[in-house]
Structure 1
Amino acid sequence: MADGLNWFTPDWPAPPDIHAAVTLRHGGISTGPYASFNLAAHVGDDPAAVAENRRRLREGLALPSEPAWLEQVHGTDLVHLPQPPSRPPRADGSYTATAGVVCAVLTADCLPVLITDGLIVAAVHAGWRGLAAGILERALTEIPWGRPPMVWLGPAIGPAAFEVGPEVRDAFLRRYPDLDTAFFPRRDRFLADLYQIATYQLYRHDLYAVFGGHECTFSAPKRYFSHRRDGACGRQAALIWRSA
């Protein structure tokens, strides 16, 4: 699967029948703050534009089914998808062992995480609230992986841009005291490193096949939507599926 105008393929050693893609912000028809390849139906964009953008996504990637869009709430719920859902489940991650079911999450600064063991595929929406509450560790322990999976960390707000209050740092340190190195003081606030936090959590579970984690949504306005940078904006998608 080659990269396209409005998406790219993660660089990781997934098996040939495991497919993944992350969309970019250009190549669609949305206008204003959603210009142009917004894939989210909940951010105030014209529904007709979102529908056309989603159609272009399905066609451009030759997807085997409509992506299993979620109603994301910054929680820790994961949903099993033996088949494409009829309506968006309320969850922040999904997984399936069924070929042709496309797991997907939408982000605009939060960390999209794609996981596979070669049979099961999963997509996780990991913002700071979800990471602090353990959604990534839950994905590692509750999904019935047949073998240790590999993980790809997608575009998220980087450590030079993600300024948080002390309450965010405290939320992590209560659960993970060793994560103080992921927070860099800036006056009375901190710069937080989502990639370091996620990698730390993965390593705690002896999972070292971790890839990605190098692109900052905030600092690439021509490439990615960023809620922290722009306020009202669209969302890019991270998708993963297994072919038959």
Structure 2
Amino acid sequence: MRIRRVVTTRAGGYSSPPYDSFNLGDEVGDDPAAVAANRKRLATELGLAEDRVTWMEQVHGRTVRVVDGPLDGPAEATDVLVTAERDLALVALVADCVPVLLADPEAGVAAAAHAGRVGARVGVIPAALEAMYSLGAQASRVEVLLGPAICGQCYEVPREMAADVERHLPGSACRTANGTTGIDLRSGLWNQLAEAGIGSVGVDPRCTAEDESLFSYRRQGTTGRIAAVTWVGSA
């Protein structure tokens, strides 16, 4: 089966500064009408009805929601969406956290995960994989894309925080470009996926803090959200 993946940028929408312009986050202070127009445009560009694009109320946890059809609003208090339904798009919103798109093309199972520091630390990706396996996915067939996120050279954190994350997500601790203590979440997640037997892991190298075509909370403070979207195509 054909797995579709899309990552948006901040260009081409209806939002005004500092959300300019294709902000897809509805809980960041942007004009709701602009966000609704941006979400409608996203569905149109994906070639899907608006109710076939599924959103989450992300809370930096490890809760998984398996969906088999359109929801009445966003999935509440959820950081992973999983489906085996055709043409049902799953969305993870980020502005420095790692959007993780997973799929087993043979089983026709897809997942979208929001993996920030807290979620990655508490095991949001192992939770996503377990839900996928329950629908027939197998580790040897799963393909993963780690989307745009803040890179380790830009993600400065206190030493104690880096050590704590490293204990739970080995391979994440690093040094920033300034020589201070940092975290590289994509590196830690890559190691975690490899340990889980996932052999196909792609990484979008863009850093949200460095690339001004993307939203970044670290760079801007008040800002919008880009979307990482995946779905199982019907054709």
Please give the TM-score of this superposition, normalised by the length of structure 2: 0.90
Give the Cα–Cα distance (whole angstroms) in 1 for the partners of residues 177 and 43 of structure 2.
43
- Amino acid of the residue matched to residue 19 of structure 2? Y
- Cα distance in 2 for partners of 1:185, 1:159 equals 6
| 1:164-243 aligned within 5 A | 164-176=157-169, 178-179=170-171, 182-184=173-175, 189-221=180-212, 223-243=213-233
**Aligned residue among 130, 139, 146 for 1:153:** 146
2:60 equivalent in structure 1: 74
SS at match of 1:116: strand
Calculate the TM-score normalised by the size of structure 1. 0.87
Residue 243 (structure 1) shift: 1.9
Q: Which runs of 5+ in 2 are unaligned?
A: none
Q: CA deviation at 1:61?
A: 1.7
Contact 2:155 2:176 in 1 (8 A): no
Identity across the alignment (%)? 37
- Rounded Cα–Cα distance in structure 2 between residues aligned with 1:165 and 1:61: 40
What is the identity, as a one-letter code, of the residue corresponding to 1:209?
S
Alpha-carbon shift at residue 65 of structure 1 (Å):
4.5
Q: How far did residue 187 of structure 1 move?
A: 8.1
1:113 maps onto 2:82 in alignment: no
Contact 1:225 1:235 in 2 (8 A): yes
Shift of residue 241, structure 1, vs aligned partner: 0.8
Q: Which amino acid aligns with 1:69?
A: W
Against the structure 1 CA distance between its residues 179 and 143, is the aligned structure 2 distance closer, same or farther, given a 3 Å change threshold? same
Q: State the partner residue of 1:99.
A: 86
The amino acid that maps onto 2:104 is: D
In the aligned structure 2, how far is the partner of 1:167 from the partner of 1:63?
45
Distance 1:57 1:24 in 2: 11
Contact 1:114/1:123 (<8 A) preserved: yes
SS at match of 1:49: helix
Unaligned runs of 5+ in 1: 1-14
CA deviations on 1:140-165 (whole Å, 9 max, x unpaired) are: 23322433301001000011111111
Q: CA deviation at 1:194?
A: 1.4
SS in 2 for 1:237: strand
In structure 2, distance between residues paired with 1:200 and 1:124: 17
Match of 1:43 among 14, 28, 41: 28
Q: Spell out, residue by residue over 1:90-139, the C-alpha distance to the aligned partner (whole angstroms, 9 max, x if none).
A: 20010000102111110000000000001000000001111111111221
Q: Deviations over 1:161-193 (max 9, x none)?
A: 1111123212223335x537x322788951211
Q: Are 1:63 and 2:48 matched, yes or no?
A: yes
